[in-house]
């Protein structure tokens, strides 16, 4: 329970009333969080106030974190922790506000799970206890930076191909692996003995679907995650002419379906629908998102499809992502639009963004775009990806579609690589200011009181602000999870429109539950200049309070 900032709830109510009465006419309180109404303001598209910004941090085959070298380091735990903190440093440098971290890459766990073995990507040995709780560390350190933590799970993949992975050999899995205890739950695809063969849990078996949900929900229940994230691996991607070996499963569990393709899609639909319900039943604020392959269906196969000719996730991996959006079984979708703009009819980025924007329009599902940083500057992907501006051009194009509320970059090592200077370019042109995570008004929230600034003074390291949060989480008011600090030049007129974009947003910080007084140092404040500051409170879902009364620093 948070330390009480001010105990007098009556004073808090009076303060809220006074602030609302004294606010501009356009700043009437919102029903959820009383944040300023800014719909009529002119804003700078280069500095949006709200935009989801993240990078995927992949653990499978040690792509991003932890590094394979860390497994043999004499100070393995310290090295892995330092590596992760370096990724958070990069996220902060780029003004990201979230990380999407893979914590269940192959039916294993990055936490002490009672259901599945420790991941081999921590120690190099399947099932070996690393001697610490990585997931607890990942979440705690992310929140210290006020970064959302989205736990990335792969639902059905059990192994990676040999020689690096277990391949199709159950005996090479950890001794206590559930797949070894229930070999009937699995299949190999492609078949054992074929290059690239690996093991999957069979999505058509009800007990399997229940088990993988239980295993993933263990992390949701026990850790303070902000989101649950699935990637695009459901049924395996086709390999040659090999068929998924599920005839017997279809015969035993068809639920009345006569078409196997429809049945497979329904199996995945059930996974998504049930997982969303389970998350919301225990933690309604936790966002559920999926990052599917970027093409649902082509227009030639379905009039509702996109103007493309590439592979269709609806058909090849049984992922009916359009249905998940229309049924609102997910809170956000991150299509992997890993193609360039123009001259690529199979999958033109400029054709797919409007299709996804239209698909989410009118729903409560938020659209973020998956960006292929891994292709930038790599000759194997052709000349278009030798353009250092390609990724920045993607983000510029996104501005034409208000439904696009952010981007997720694949993956962390590629973002850091900054080939051709592409990361520097899109960061300068699109992420120059901090941004708040887009709010989700359909999820439960209580109104927030504005902070009361109790101190503002210059110091050697900048301007130091301090404040208290009235009636935090008490009575009808919500908990302040974090705060946003805005700075205006002296004499600048401050009304609701001053808070409409991020041009005045100095930064955000996580609430410190251990103290009643919160503080922030504006290290970018210039000596000799007079500033006006306002602070707002943000809840778990980034709903924002009205701004605090102005505090001038001369």
Domain of 281, CATH number, reads 3.20.20.80
257 assigned to some structural domain? yes
Residue 469 and residue 380 share a domain: no
Question: Could you read off the pLDDT of 283-341 as tens digits, one per residue?
Answer: 999 999 999 999 999 999 999 999 999 999 999 999 999 999 999 999 999 999 999 99
How does the average pLDDT of the chain come out, rounded?
Answer: 93
Residues in a beta bridge with 48: 501
CA–CA separation, 37 and 58 (whole Å): 38
Residue 22 lies in a domain: no
Report the side by side order of strands in the sheet with 462-468. 452-459, 462-468, 518-522
pLDDT at residue 40, rounded to an integer? 87
pLDDT of residue 36: 64
Work out how many domains the chain is built from and give that number.
Answer: 2
CATH code assigned at 487: 2.60.40.10
Q: Kindly state whether residues 353 and 475 are assigned to the same domain.
A: no
The per-residue pLDDT for 35 is: 64
pLDDT digits (tens, 9 = 90+) for 401-452: 999 999 999 999 999 999 999 999 999 999 999 999 999 999 999 999 999 9
303 assigned to some structural domain:
yes
The pLDDT of residue 491 is: 77
> For residue 387, is it within any domain?
yes
471 and 515 co-located in one domain: yes
Give me the torsion for CA of 101, 105, 107, 111, rounded to 10°.
-40
- Asked if residue 72 and residue 111 are part of one domain, the reply reads yes
| CA angle 37–41–45, rounded 5-degree value | 115
DSSP-derived secondary structure letter, 113 = -
Domain presence at residue 127: yes
Judge if 397 and 471 occupy the same domain: no
Residue 25 placed within a domain: no
- pLDDT for the residue numbered 343: 83
- Regarding whether 133 and 60 lie in a shared domain, the answer is yes
Q: Are residues 518 and 424 in the same domain?
A: no
- Structure tokens given for 177: 């692996």
* pTM to 2 decimal places: 0.94
Q: For residue 283, what pLDDT is reported?
A: 98
How is the chain split among helix, strand and coil, in percent rounded to 5?
A: 30, 20, 50
What is residue 11's predicted lDDT score, i.e. its pLDDT? Answer: 36
Residues 6+ apart with CB under 8 A from 177: 107, 116, 117, 126, 127, 158, 170
Torsion angle of the four alpha carbons 270, 217, 335, 59, in this order, in degrees rounded to the nearest 10: -130
269 within a domain of the structure (yes/no): yes
Mark whether 90 and 180 lie in a shared domain. yes
- Residue 520 sits in which domain range? 452-553
Taking the C-alpha atoms of residue 544 and residue 445, their distance in angstroms, rounded to an integer, is: 11
Residues 62 and 175 in one domain: yes
Does residue 20 belong to any structural domain of this protein? no
Residues 416 and 456 in one domain: no
- Do 133 and 261 lie in one domain? The reply is yes
* pLDDT at residue 146 in the model: 98
Q: Averaged in consecutive runs of 10 residues, what is the pLDDT profile of the chain (554 residues)?
A: 36 39 34 61 96 98 98 97 98 98 98 98 98 98 98 98 98 97 98 97 98 98 98 96 98 98 98 98 98 98 98 98 98 98 94 98 98 98 97 98 98 98 98 98 95 95 96 96 96 90 98 94 94 97 97 93
Q: Which pLDDT does position 493 carry in this prediction?
A: 81
Are residue 419 and residue 546 in the same domain, yes or no?
no
For the chain, counts of helices (H) and of strands (E): 14, 17
């Amino acid at each position: 329970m948070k330390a009480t900032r001010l105990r007098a709830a009556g004073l808090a109510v009076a303060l809220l009333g006074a602030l609302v009465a004294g606010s501009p006419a356009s700043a009437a309180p919102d029903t959820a969080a009383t944040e300023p109404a800014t719909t009529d303001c002119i804003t700078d598209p280069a500095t949006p106030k709200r935009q989801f910004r993240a990078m995927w941090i992949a653990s499978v085959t040690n792509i991003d974190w932890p590094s394979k070298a860390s497994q043999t380091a004499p100070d393995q735990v310290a090295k892995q922790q330092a590596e992760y903190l370096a990724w958070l440093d990069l996220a902060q440098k780029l003004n990201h506000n979230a990380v999407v971290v893979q914590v269940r890459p192959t039916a294993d766990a990055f936490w002490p799970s009672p259901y599945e073995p420790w991941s081999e990507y921590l120690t190099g040995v399947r099932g070996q206890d690393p001697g610490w709780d990585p997931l607890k560390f990942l979440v705690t350190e992310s929140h210290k930076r006020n970064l959302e933590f989205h736990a990335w799970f792969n639902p059905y993949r059990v192994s990676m191909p040999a020689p690096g992975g277990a391949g199709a050999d159950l005996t090479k899995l950890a001794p206590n692996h559930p797949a070894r205890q229930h070999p009937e739950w699995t299949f190999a695809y492609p078949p054992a003995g074929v290059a690239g063969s690996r093991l999957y849990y069979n999505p058509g078996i009800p007990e399997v679907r229940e088990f993988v949900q239980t295993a993933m929900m263990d992390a949701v229940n026990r850790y303070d995650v902000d989101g649950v994230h699935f990637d695009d691996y459901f049924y395996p991607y086709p390999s040659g002419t090999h068929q998924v070996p599920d005839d017997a499963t279809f015969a035993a569990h068809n639920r009345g379906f006569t078409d196997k393709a429809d049945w497979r899609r329904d199996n995945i639909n059930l996974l998504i629908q049930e997982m969303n319900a389970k998350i919301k039943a225990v933690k309604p604020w936790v966002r559920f998102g999926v990052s599917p392959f970027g093409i649902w269906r082509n227009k030639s196969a379905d009039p509702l499809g996109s103007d493309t000719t590439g592979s269709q996730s609806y058909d090849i991996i049984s992922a009916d992502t359009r249905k998940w959006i229309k049924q609102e079984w997910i809170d956000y979708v991150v299509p992997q639009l890993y193609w360039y703009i123009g001259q690529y009819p199979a999958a033109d980025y400029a054709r797919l963004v409007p299709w996804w924007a239209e698909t989410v329009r009118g729903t409560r599902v938020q659209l973020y775009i998956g960006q292929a940083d891994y292709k930038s500057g790599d000759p194997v992907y052709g000349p278009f990806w030798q353009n250092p501006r390609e990724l920045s051009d993607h983000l510029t194009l996104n501005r034409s579609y208000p439904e696009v509320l952010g981007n997720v970059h694949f993956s962390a090592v590629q973002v850091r690589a900054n080939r051709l200077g592409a990361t520097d370019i899109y960061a300068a042109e699109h992420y120059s200011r901090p941004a708040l995570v887009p709010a989700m008004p359909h999820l439960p929230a209580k109104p927030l009181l504005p902070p009361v600034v109790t101190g503002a003074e210059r110091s050697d390291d900048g301007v130091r602000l301090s404040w208290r949060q009235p009636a935090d989480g008490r009575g009808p008011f919500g908990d302040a999870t974090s705060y946003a600090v805005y700075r205006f030049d002296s004499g600048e007129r401050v009304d609701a429109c001053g808070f409409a974009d991020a041009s005045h947003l100095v930064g955000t910080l996580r609430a410190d539950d251990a103290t009643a007084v919160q503080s922030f140092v504006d290290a970018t404040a210039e000596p000799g200049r007079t500033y006006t500051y306002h602070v707002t409170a943000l809840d778990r879902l980034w709903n924002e309070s009205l701004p605090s009364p102005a505090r001038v620093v001369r």
